[in-house]
């Protein structure tokens, strides 16, 4: 089974949904005053079912679903895999020598929250990269992660214990489509997941103004991704400020997943949530990764930074339960954070591939050059929807792409914001990418 590609997104099967959604409540992304579609009182029996719903079986990886979709169908041409969002540009040349120089550290437990050198490097990088209200304190506001995935998961548990009691059944908000770990975090924290559609009409980000205040008063945490996966939308400072203000007003935690922040195109680099969270970074924690920025998905180094009060709770949980990051890997990350040349070179490689998409796709499938990230999110409703298009692309052209439905959640009204789409990862080299895009247009028209 695949490694879930760090950013893989997962849909939930009916049995899991049944277990998780003891009290479904859908909020429209439009019409904040529209009443919830469905509401039920919480009984003990419901709650116990919810308690039994920790993220276990029933969840099927989108890649397992894709394999099932394409099983027993021969690819029409030599296969090209555009389904998996795995960076495939070369790793920075200094990684090997830095690790070799610190190999003895494999013999010592690394500090749980990260080495002083790593936390200093992460705080320094955040300060150079973002317009922070003040420098971060690396002692209390930064922690190393084994990539953002485990960090996002455990943060939901920490947030659940950190918030003041909620006005009703606790909720975790997440965008739809979404990264699978958001839903797993909500389930593990025994919170009701509320999927906020992020569609063209909402600028491919959740509509903050459409969220019912009654829901916000039950909210423990809000997973927000900018640049978003798969759409590549970037939240501006105004949007991020609005999200942070909601978190502060309602006392929940804004968990801002910024792992694609360095993969951006044209103009300014994306803003980060710490820029707008005020001098204490109150109620905001950001998540960053070396996987995309530095093409190091296998190094497993990321970091969290933000509100020192939350970071203290998070650190207590992490000190007991979390993975640790080897010292040599932290040293490699220190070197990577000190260098922007490889990051710019990496960005140019993606930029060149999106230039190909501009040229080859033109305005087909609702394509527009995204603001960030490395996916195409193509509307293939006219071609029969995401699954039909994925099937045709494989059968006729050997292209493996992901149906958008597999990385989004069915809403109560039966809609699924990914159903009309395919996700195409621009991770192959330029020549392969060009070939793939030509084949795609030839099949889809």
Using CB under 8 A, which of 128, 319, 345, 412 touches its own copies? 319
325 binds its own copies (CB under 8 A): yes
Instruction: Tell me which residues in 138-157 interact with its own copies (CB under 8 A).
Output: 146-147, 149-150, 153, 157
Nearer CB in complex with its own copies: 223/367: 223
With contacts defined by CB under 8 A, name the span among 102-110, 239-247, 403-411, 424-432 that binds its own copies.
102-110
Using CB under 8 A, which of 29, 80, 113, 261 touches its own copies? 113
Min dist. Cβ of residue 56 to its own copies (A): 3
Q: Distance between CA atoms of 301 and 341, rounded to whole angstroms?
A: 19
Using CB under 8 A, which of 219, 295, 411, 433 touches its own copies? 295
100 binds its own copies (CB under 8 A): yes
**115 contacts 356 by C-beta, under 8 angstroms:** no
104 binds its own copies (CB under 8 A): yes
Please give the structure tokens belonging to residue 287.
């998540």
Using CB under 8 A, which of 161, 269, 362, 384 touches its own copies? 161
Q: Distance between CA atoms of 20 and 51, rounded to whole angstroms?
A: 9
326 binds its own copies (CB under 8 A): yes
Q: Distance between CA atoms of 174 and 27, rounded to whole angstroms?
A: 12
The closest alpha carbon to 429, from 162, 81, 176, belongs to 81
Q: Distance between CA atoms of 432 and 37, rounded to whole angstroms?
A: 46
Per-residue contact flags (x/-) with its own copies for residues 12 to 51, judged by CB under 8 A: -------------------------------xx--xx--x
Using CB under 8 A, which of 4, 137, 280, 435 touches its own copies? 4
Angle, alpha carbons 257-262-263 (nearest 5°): 100
Nearer CB in complex with its own copies: 178/239: 178
332 binds its own copies (CB under 8 A): yes
Instruction: Tell me which residues in 165-224 interact with its own copies (CB under 8 A).
Output: 165, 170, 180-181, 183-185, 188-190
**405 contacts 383 by C-beta, under 8 angstroms:** no
329 binds its own copies (CB under 8 A): yes
Q: Distance between CA atoms of 385 and 125, rounded to whole angstroms?
A: 42
Min dist. Cβ of residue 301 to its own copies (A): 9
3-state secondary structure 183-249: HHHHHHCCCEEEEEECCHHHCCCCCHHHCCHHHHCCEEEEEEECCCCCCCCCCCHHHHHHHHHHHHH
103 binds its own copies (CB under 8 A): yes
Nearer CB in complex with its own copies: 87/193: 87
Q: For residue 266, is it left (φ>0), alpha (ψ between -120 and 50) or beta? A: left
Q: How many residues bind its own copies (CB under 8 A)?
A: 85
End-to-end CA distance of the chain: 33
315 binds its own copies (CB under 8 A): yes
Please give the structure tokens belonging to residue 5.
């590609």
Q: Could you tell me how many helices (H) and strands (E) the chain has, helices first?
A: 15, 14
Instruction: Tell me which residues in 53-92 interact with its own copies (CB under 8 A).
Output: 53-59, 61, 86-91
């Amino acid at each position: 089974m695949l490694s879930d590609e760090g950013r893989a997104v997962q849909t939930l099967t009916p049995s899991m949904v049944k277990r998780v959604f003891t009290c479904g409540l859908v909020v429209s992304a439009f019409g904040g005053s529209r009443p919830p579609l469905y509401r039920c009182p919480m009984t003990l029996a419901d709650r116990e079912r919810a308690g039994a719903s920790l993220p276990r079986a029933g969840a099927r990886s989108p890649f397992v679903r894709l394999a099932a979709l394409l099983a027993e169908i021969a690819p029409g041409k030599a296969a090209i895999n555009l389904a998996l969002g795995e960076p495939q540009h070369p790793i920075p040349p200094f990684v090997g020598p830095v690790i070799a120089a610190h190999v003895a550290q494999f013999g010592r437990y690394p500090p749980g929250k990260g080495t002083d050198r790593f936390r200093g490097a992460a705080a320094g990088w955040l300060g150079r990269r973002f317009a922070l209200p003040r420098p971060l304190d690396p002692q209390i506001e930064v922690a190393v992660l084994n990539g953002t995935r485990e960090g996002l998961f455990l943060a939901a548990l920490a947030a659940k214990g950190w918030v003041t009691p909620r006005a009703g059944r606790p909720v975790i908000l997440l965008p739809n489509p979404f990264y699978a770990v958001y839903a797993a975090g909500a389930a593990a924290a025994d919170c009701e997941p509320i999927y906020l559609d992020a569609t063209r009409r909402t600028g491919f980000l959740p509509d903050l103004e459409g969220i019912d205040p009654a829901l916000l008063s039950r909210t423990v945490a809000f997973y927000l991704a900018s640049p978003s996966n798969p759409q590549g939308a970037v939240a501006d400072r105004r949007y991020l400020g609005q999200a942070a203000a909601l978190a502060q007003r309602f006392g929940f935690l804004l968990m801002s997943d910024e792992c694609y922040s360095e993969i951006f195109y044209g103009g300014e680099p994306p803003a980060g949530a710490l820029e707008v969270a005020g001098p204490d970074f109150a109620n905001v924690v950001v998540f960053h990764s070396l996987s995309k920025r530095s093409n190091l998905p296998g190094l497993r180094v990321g970091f969290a930074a933000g509100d020192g009060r939350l970071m203290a709770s998070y650190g207590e949980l992490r000190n007991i339960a979390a993975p640790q990051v080897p010292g040599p890997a932290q040293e490699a990350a220190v070197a990577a954070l000190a260098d922007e040349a490889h990051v710019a070179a990496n960005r140019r490689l993606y930029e060149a591939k999106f230039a190909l998409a501009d040229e080859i796709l033109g305005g087909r499938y609702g394509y527009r050059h995204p603001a960030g990230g490395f996916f195409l999110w193509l509307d293939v409703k006219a071609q029969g929807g995401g699954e039909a298009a994925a099937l045709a692309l494989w059968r006729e052209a050997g292209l493996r792409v992901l149906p958008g439905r597999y990385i989004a959640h069915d809403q109560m009204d039966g809609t699924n914001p990914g159903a009309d789409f395919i996700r195409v990862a621009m991770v192959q080299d330029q020549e392969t990418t060009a070939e793939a895009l030509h084949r795609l247009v030839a099949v889809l028209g």
